[in-house]
């Protein structure tokens, strides 16, 4: 990827991240980048949105099923 294409990709991600923040999606820059890349590869965006919503619902139950980290004095 040449420097102009890299700059354009970075600007596009910055814009998408800004819109994501305005819409209060809660997505971090890396996650948004992965989701955009998946869409670029042809993954259905509505299916991705459904997966993200489902993972968010399961997040509390996932963290409660993990073993506790050892505590250090």
Give dist(CA 6, CA 12) in Å, integer.
10
Read off the pLDDT of residues 28-51 as tens digits, 9 standing for 90 and up.
999 999 999 999 999 999 999 999
User: Which residues are CB-contacts of 38 (< 8 A; sequence separation ≥ 6)?
Assistant: 48
Assessment of whether the complete model's pTM goes beyond 0.85: no
Is residue 16 within 8 Å of 31, Cβ to Cβ? no
Look at residue 58 in the predicted model and tell me its pLDDT: 84
């Amino acid at each position: 990827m040449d420097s102009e294409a890299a700059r354009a990709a970075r600007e596009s991600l910055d814009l998408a991240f800004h819109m994501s923040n305005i819409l209060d999606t809660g997505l971090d820059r890396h996650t948004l980048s992965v989701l955009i890349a998946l869409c670029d590869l042809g993954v259905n965006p509505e299916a991705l949105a459904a997966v993200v919503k489902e993972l968010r619902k399961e997040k509390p139950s996932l963290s409660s099923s993990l073993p506790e980290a050892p505590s250090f004095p």
